């Protein structure tokens, strides 16, 4: 059994990681859309792939937090 303070610390860390992953995913999505008219298909695909990986990681971290703390 973890102490209450340590549980709050872990929940805070999960929250910060989730917010950072969501922000990075949003940034990558916007970056991929910024290359839309330039013809740089490799850049578009690379940034979009980073965005998708970020969303999947966000889902995995949130699922881990839910399973561990609820």
DSSP per-residue letters across 20-69 = HHHHHHHHHHHHHHHTTTTT-HHHHHHHHHHHHHHHHHHHHHHHHHHHHH
pLDDT of residue 10: 86
69 pLDDT higher than 90: no
Domain residue ranges of the chain, discontinuous segments joined by +: 25-70
Predicted local confidence at residue 45, as pLDDT: 94
- 20-65: pLDDT as tens digits: 999 999 999 999 999 888 889 999 999 999 999 999 999 999 998 8
Residue 42 pLDDT: 93
pLDDT band at 11 (very low <50, low <70, confident <90, very high): confident
pTM: 0.82
């Amino acid at each position: 059994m973890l102490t209450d303070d340590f549980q709050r610390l872990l929940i805070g860390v999960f929250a910060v990681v989730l917010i950072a992953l969501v922000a990075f995913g949003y940034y990558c999505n916007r970056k991929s859309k910024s290359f839309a008219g330039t013809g740089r298909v490799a850049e578009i695909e690379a940034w979009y792939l980073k965005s998708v990986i970020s969303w999947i990681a966000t889902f995995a971290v949130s699922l881990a937090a839910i399973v561990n703390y609820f």
